[in-house]
Structure 1
């Protein structure tokens, strides 16, 4: 029978092996002073309201209005973003997307992440993430292999790049990714009960909540 945790069964027959690899990489990274990052993507809806429990004045319960998008509203109904939670600093590295998560956007995000990790003086990133198609695609795996080969070739230089050690989690095991709970808390924190936020307002509120600067949008290139 597949193992389970906190009442969540996983259909992945390789759960035990993959979890052991994750745990071993985490231990190695901690001993070696490497960066550990939990990565994921999420959609921030401008229309759907999250489940919310809140304190309010007696006889004045907080009410979330049902929102709708005007036909002349130029902003999308939902905004996608990529993020990585640093296990060492607790910092969130976040980029919103013009478009949706695809392999090309993933590699653009990884390249940017390497710059962030390098700026912290670290040269190895253990990347914990799930099996989304834009994580396991041939394009992404080829990019990772070629990137790491280039890093090894430049290892003796004065400015070595960041090597990425990817760790794909077992299928449907969100409890192994520490970034997952951040999304639910964030969506409750940025809620606007009575009006539709603009895309700019959503991005700003998300970045304010997570304490990160609003970086340039990642762009899905349409060929």
Structure 2
């Protein structure tokens, strides 16, 4: 059995989180103007993470865009491949009640996948929903807070490419396994 705590976060130059900064009295901090985007440029990056309970490592998967059922399913496939390679029969995914986790499409896919996996001797998935509005129960949550602090700065609005590199740098500093890159 492999147990993981799953969560996701998204990053965008359009939506910078609240940041703190100090400046000299009478010389206030200046916030740069937002960037203009060309048509077709990615405007956000979604980062999925799974903290493995066994070794506390974080498996990370990224894609352009926002979290949704399709991207969540792609990340679950990524986790299932790793669990199958490790010889695990079950993958227990502990996650919050985001709409794309509890959607009918997701539940239907999991039922169908588990029937197929049982028939073919592959790793099966068991979702476990955390109570609503309880991020403190998911130990991967602090990673997103610290990662966003590492990505964003008061005096600079990063591009999507800079965000990708900063996210990679953040997770490279942790004992984690950064893998999987999807472009949508």
- The alignment's TM-score, normalised by the length of structure 2, stands at 0.81
Output the CA distance in 2 between the equivalents of 1:122 and 1:202: 34
In structure 1, C-alpha distance between the alignment counterparts of 2:93 and 2:84, rounded to whole Å: 14
Matched, 1:93 2:59: yes
Distance 1:203 1:83 in 2: 14
Tell me the distance in 2 between the aligned counterparts of 1:192 and 1:176: 28
Q: Normalising by structure 1, report the TM-score.
A: 0.68
1:154 aligned to 2:115? no
Runs of 5+ consecutive residues of structure 2 not aligned to the other structure: none
Shift of 1:117: 2.0
The alignment yields a C-alpha RMSD, in angstroms, of 2.8
In the TM superposition, residue 185 of structure 1 has moved relative to its aligned partner by 0.8
Q: 2:69 aligns with which of 103, 112, 121?
A: 103
Gaps of 5+ in 1: 1-33, 156-160
The 8 Å contact of residues 37 and 125 in structure 1, kept in 2 or not, is answered as: yes
The counterpart of 1:131, out of the listed 86, 97, 105, is: 97
User: Given that residues 69 and 77 in structure 1 are in contact (C-alpha distance below 8 angstroms), is that contact kept between their aligned partners in structure 2?
Assistant: no
1:60-209 matched pairs, under 5 angstroms:
65-72=31-38, 75-155=41-121, 161-209=122-170
Q: Which whole-Å CA distance do the structure 1 matches of 2:18 and 2:85 have between them? A: 36
Residue aligning to 1:42 = 9
